[in-house]
């Protein structure tokens, strides 16, 4: 069974640009959540989607957005990039969308560098 | 979500048991204890979780105190590949959301 796939794995952007990251969850998983990881702030929750609906959102500005498609694949977008957006962006999928599943399956992440 | 306290780093000799402590003194009755680990430059990996009973799987054992204010993750025979940051997380299961609040974790270094 294929794991969570994130693309691209690495990318470099400049300030003011926008970026779109993609996440393909494990087949059959309907919940996809996104996290940002930086050395200073650690792992922080961005948002979670279940059946194409955003169910929960972390404390990030509106420049960070996402969506989920009918096949459960998800994208996140960051507009007007800032230097502080440089981070590892991680996607995780879950089979039933509830914490009582006990397990989130994480991808390898997309490492974004903003110059 | 309740906060957790973990030591920033620990060392363990290869082949010995690694015992990673976690304090969660403000845990609520409906909150589970989860353990994840993150090997350098990889995504976090689920290890184990529990509510109040001790749990064991092929990776580790989780011991939760009777008052549920602390827990210990046990890797019975640590290997070099177990070197990673280990996160202890407490979170309710009834929110219906697949979200976790990660702290700073414990950096476990397994040496030969």
Q: pLDDT tens for residues B3-23? A: 899 999 999 999 999 999 999
The yes-or-no verdict on residue A85 having pLDDT over 60 is: yes
Distances from the Cα of B104 to the Cα of A15, A67, A79, B38, angstroms: 28, 28, 28, 11
Determine the Cα–Cα distance for residues B94 and A50; give it in Å rounded to an integer. Answer: 15
SS3 at position A100: helix
Q: Which residues of B touch A (CB under 8 A)?
A: 32, 34, 36, 42-46, 49, 87, 91-104
The yes-or-no verdict on residue A96 having pLDDT over 70 is: no
Closest-CA residue in chain B for A31?
A: B98
Q: Which of B49, B92, B98 faces A94 most closely, judged by CB atoms? A: B98
Kindly list the residues from chain A whose CB atom is less than 8 angstroms away from the CB atom of residue B45: 106
If we measure between CA atoms, which residue out of A82, A80, A87, A94 comes closest to residue A109?
A87
Say if the Cβ atoms of B97 and A97 lie within 8 Å: yes
Q: What's the confidence (pLDDT) of residue B95?
A: 57
Q: What's the confidence (pLDDT) of residue B98?
A: 62
Say if the Cβ atoms of A55 and B96 lie within 8 Å: yes
Distances from the Cα of B15 to the Cα of B18, B57, B80, B81, angstroms: 9, 18, 9, 11
Q: How confident is the model at residue B103 (pLDDT cuts 50, 70, 90)?
A: confident
Strand B31-38 to strand B55-56: parallel, antiparallel, or no bridges (unpaired)?
unpaired
pLDDT higher at A60 or B99? A60
Distances from the Cα of B87 to the Cα of B53, B57, B106, angstroms: 19, 17, 7
pLDDT higher at B92 or A105? A105
Q: What are phi and psi of B83, to 5 degrees?
A: -65, 120
Q: What's the confidence (pLDDT) of residue B100?
A: 79
Q: What's the confidence (pLDDT) of residue B97?
A: 60
Mean pLDDT of A66-89: 97
Chain A contact probe: residue of B32, B33, B41, B43 with most A CBs at under 10 A: B43
Q: How confident is the model at residue B2 (pLDDT cuts 50, 70, 90)?
A: low
Determine the Cα–Cα distance for residues B43 and B87; give it in Å rounded to an integer. Answer: 12
Q: Are A19 and A13 in contact (CB under 8 A)?
A: yes
Beta bridge partners of A20: A77
């Amino acid at each position: 069974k294929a794991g969570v796939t994130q693309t691209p794995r690495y990318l470099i952007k400049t300030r003011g640009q926008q970026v779109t990251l993609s996440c393909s969850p494990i087949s059959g998983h309907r919940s996809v959540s996104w996290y940002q990881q930086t050395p200073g702030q650690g792992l922080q929750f961005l948002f979670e989607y279940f059946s194409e609906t955003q169910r929960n959102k972390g404390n990030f500005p509106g420049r960070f957005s996402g969506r989920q498609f009918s096949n459960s694949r998800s994208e996140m977008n960051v507009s007007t990039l800032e230097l502080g957006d440089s981070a590892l962006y991680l996607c995780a999928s879950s089979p039933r969308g509830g914490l009582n599943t006990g397990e989130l399956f994480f991808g390898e992440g997309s490492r974004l560098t903003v110059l | 979500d309740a906060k957790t306290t973990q030591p920033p780093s620990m060392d363990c000799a290869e082949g010995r048991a690694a015992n990673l402590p976690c304090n969660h003194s403000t845990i609520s009755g409906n909150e589970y204890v989860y353990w994840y680990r993150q090997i350098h430059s990889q995504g976090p990996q689920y290890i184990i979780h529990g509510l109040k009973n001790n749990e064991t799987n092929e990776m580790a054992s989780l011991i939760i105190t009777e008052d549920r204010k602390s827990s210990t993750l046990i890797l019975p025979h640590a290997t070099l590949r177990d070197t990673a940051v280990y996160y202890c997380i407490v979170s309710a299961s009834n929110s219906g959301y697949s979200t976790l609040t990660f702290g700073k974790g414990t950096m476990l270094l397994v040496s030969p």
